[in-house]
Chains A and B, each alone.
Chain A
């Protein structure tokens, strides 16, 4: 079996001299415009060839996984009725507000544009949401009213209040204004679908980066890359979440790319290129969704570990030097957007972190640290002796997180019959067993990469802690509203690697059968989840 790293490293992979201030001065003071144009052209050509070269190195199987994920999410976007997914009305209002006024939201009150408010009324959105016994509108009078209002020139700009999405950073919404503007001559439902399709593209990128992550994590097992990529591509939760308007879709992509870049850096060292990529990704994550904060501690730990590991010519080769410079660059790039945002707010006399400052203020009002730790523990794991019982009569791991990962769609109101969740324990239990067997069998290899594994575990734990803490914060007013598996989906690449490990645990004889069965299992889950959603809203 060929080692994917046998190929000679390209010149661009080698650690390069960091650009200096003098470079910038030299460039700016170039004596002749012709020479400057020539330099610019060379730079563009170099960037183009770099991009094309990088894209060509992506295996065809990864592209196929991306295609499958995109098509799956596009299908979900058609199946899920407009605004019948968590907070979609608020996320769309953010996009509309940004596209129509060019301004960021000013308040978290539900003050949507007349056009969106009327559409929500026409769709009976409030009545259908959380009422599985009610389907979408189908009476001719209702449909006619919707069509009439969609064709009417209702005001698109609202007063700036966009509901629960107000505290989210703007990058996703700014990107979403592109498909929104492309459909500006159409109805609101046309624009909504175009933005949903942009999210479907993010699903494709997430699957692609998941494939690439598994490729870096298990470089000697090419079939495992495909198992990991297909697991992500066919995961119904990815398709569902990337099938409606939400920054989660982009967050998954950013996190998958971050996992990939970290794994790549652990194999090849923290080069200047890797540090720029990681820094930009972390910066993009900060600007995509606040939940990204939960991933950051692990990624920062990864940068520190990588700096000490230094640059190596090959994964197990000798260290040729530390990488503190690239680490510092990555960290500077990652916090730059937050600093700029804070500076902008301070200059304009707003709260330092804008509308986020309100939420930050609430954090300090929480109860004791011990009580919070117990809550977060029990939010995910079984209660230990001596702990207070925050979730009486409930196994959160099984009856909340497992069951809801198996199937919870629509406005969190669409579930399978209870026996499906019981049945799902069988394949899930078998996969968990196989993964454990695989880990035990390869414990020596695992120990050799303990620092890398530690980084991934810290990423997982810190994100789960953030979700648990958020839930605790809101538990007094909205109950356990954060018990939604979509919040832990940024860990999808890690989960896909575990599934690939499970397939590896089946051994040589049964391995091929198990791999194929695992993929069809996820395909089945996707198909039946879509049918469930269709039956709930249109049956």
Chain B
């Protein structure tokens, strides 16, 4: 029984510590974009290609870049951001992501705002056609595909400080309605944790 208690205590402590760490961190918020319109399905790619395009201003503190690609099972996506010939940040997303209209790639934190950047997006081999949302632009007499890019950095408030506003939003477009819905969900999950812990202590010893 002692060992079960130890295991349970360690597990619950792990959950609480992780919760505190997660809730103390701020969510990523939009800090800027490359100002390319996300026009729907301008083309499809089967991967194995690199698209280089202007990135405009990359804000200080950027930790992730959202790219307008859309598949069911996404290919690997590697981003490299250049200021002149110097790589100021880069990052990669493994294949298998989706299903959605964008992919978020974590990049090394950008220490200072960079202007007139250039971003190269290397799309790995794809299992299916990947929908590209962006713009076709005329470049040097030919046509190029530019992807929509959005730059994300940590916001000013932690998840915990945002909790009341999140709770009130949870009760807006839903039945039952009201801010209490969010708190009810928390209470139910605490009850679930309590029932599960009790059962562990009673039956697993």
> How far does the Cβ of A96 sit from chain B's closest Cβ, in whole Å?
15
Of the residues B19, B93, B100, B124, contact of A393 by C-beta under 8 Å:
B124
Find the B residue at minimum CB distance from A64. Answer: B199
Find the B residue at minimum CB distance from A413. Answer: B100
CB within 8 Å of B: which of A484-502? none
A411, B172: Cβ atoms closer than 8 Å: no
Chain A residues with Cβ below 8 Å from B24 are none
The answer to whether the Cβ of A138 comes within 8 Å of any Cβ in the partner chain is yes
A538, B170: Cβ atoms closer than 8 Å: yes
Give complex CA distance A482, B73 in Å: 10
Given contacts A516-B11, A539-B27, contact A478 B72 (CB under 8 A): yes
> How far does the Cβ of B187 sit from chain A's closest Cβ, in whole Å?
9
The answer to whether the Cβ of A374 comes within 8 Å of any Cβ in the partner chain is no
Chain A residues with Cβ below 8 Å from B96 are 394-396, 398-400, 403-404
Segment with Cβ contacts to A, from B54-62, B108-116, B134-142, B189-197: B189-197
Instruction: Annotate A181-196 by CB proximity to B: 1 below 8 A, 0 otherwise.
Output: 0000011011011000
Given contacts A223-B203, A411-B99, A513-B3, contact A527 B173 (CB under 8 A): no
The answer to whether the Cβ of A46 comes within 8 Å of any Cβ in the partner chain is no
Give complex CA distance A227, B7 in Å: 13
B128, A136: Cβ atoms closer than 8 Å: no
> How far does the Cβ of B180 sit from chain A's closest Cβ, in whole Å?
11
Given contacts A132-B104, A539-B162, contact A513 B127 (CB under 8 A): no
A399, B94: Cβ atoms closer than 8 Å: yes
CB within 8 Å of B: which of A131-182? 131-133, 135-138, 142-143, 146
Of the residues A391, A415, A513, contact of B4 by C-beta under 8 Å:
A513
Give complex CA distance A415, B74 in Å: 13
B173, A67: Cβ atoms closer than 8 Å: no
A539, B203: Cβ atoms closer than 8 Å: no
Give complex CA distance A234, B193 in Å: 9
The answer to whether the Cβ of A65 comes within 8 Å of any Cβ in the partner chain is yes
Chain A residues with Cβ below 8 Å from B76 are 393
Instruction: Annotate B63-97 by CB proximity to A: 1 below 8 A, 0 otherwise.
Output: 00010001111011000000000000000011111
Q: Count A-B contacts at CB 8 Å.
A: 229
> How far does the Cβ of A142 sit from chain B's closest Cβ, in whole Å?
8
CB within 8 Å of A: which of B162-182? 162, 166, 169-170, 172-176, 181-182
B203, A418: Cβ atoms closer than 8 Å: no
> How far does the Cβ of A108 sit from chain B's closest Cβ, in whole Å?
20
A519, B73: Cβ atoms closer than 8 Å: no
CB within 8 Å of A: which of B1-26? 1, 3-8, 10-12, 14-15, 18-19, 22
Chain A residues with Cβ below 8 Å from B196 are 68, 230, 233-234, 519, 523
| Chain A interface category by residue count | 35 or more
Give complex CA distance A130, B7 in Å: 39
Chain B residues with Cβ below 8 Å from A226 are 199-200, 203-204
Given contacts A61-B202, A143-B172, contact A133 B30 (CB under 8 A): yes
| Chain B interface category by residue count | 35 or more
The answer to whether the Cβ of A82 comes within 8 Å of any Cβ in the partner chain is yes
A393, B170: Cβ atoms closer than 8 Å: no
Chain A residues with Cβ below 8 Å from B189 are 72, 75, 526-527, 530
The answer to whether the Cβ of B154 comes within 8 Å of any Cβ in the partner chain is no
Give complex CA distance A133, B182 in Å: 21
Give complex CA distance A230, B201 in Å: 13
Give complex CA distance A95, B101 in Å: 29
Chain B residues with Cβ below 8 Å from A132 are 100, 102, 104
B175, A480: Cβ atoms closer than 8 Å: no
Of the residues A71, A123, A481, contact of B192 by C-beta under 8 Å:
A71
Give complex CA distance A132, B74 in Å: 15
The answer to whether the Cβ of A99 comes within 8 Å of any Cβ in the partner chain is no
Find the A residue at minimum CB distance from B93. Answer: A418
Give complex CA distance A138, B170 in Å: 9
Chain A residues with Cβ below 8 Å from B3 are 510-513, 516
Give complex CA distance A251, B73 in Å: 26
CB within 8 Å of B: which of A384-415? 390-396, 398-400, 403-404, 411-413, 415
B195, A64: Cβ atoms closer than 8 Å: yes
Give complex CA distance A67, B4 in Å: 22
Find the B residue at minimum CB distance from A194. Answer: B175
Of the residues B1, B100, B106, contact of A418 by C-beta under 8 Å:
B106
Of the residues A65, A137, A400, A530, contact of B185 by C-beta under 8 Å:
A530
Give complex CA distance A528, B174 in Å: 21
Given contacts A131-B101, A520-B15, contact A393 B30 (CB under 8 A): no
Q: Given contact pairs A390-B127, A413-B100, enumerate 16 new A-B contacts (beta carbons under 8 Å).
A: A64-B195, A68-B192, A71-B195, A78-B181, A81-B174, A130-B70, A131-B100, A138-B169, A233-B196, A234-B196, A393-B75, A480-B72, A515-B204, A516-B3, A519-B8, A519-B200
Top 10 A-B residue pairs of the complex, sorted by shortest distance between their CB atoms: A520-B11, A516-B7, A399-B96, A479-B128, A189-B175, A513-B7, A512-B3, A413-B100, A392-B125, A393-B125
Q: List 30 A-B contacts (CB under 8 A).
A: A64-B198, A67-B195, A68-B199, A78-B170, A131-B102, A133-B150, A137-B172, A137-B173, A138-B172, A189-B174, A233-B196, A390-B127, A393-B47, A394-B75, A398-B96, A399-B95, A399-B96, A400-B73, A411-B99, A412-B99, A418-B93, A479-B73, A479-B127, A516-B4, A516-B7, A519-B8, A520-B200, A528-B22, A534-B185, A539-B159
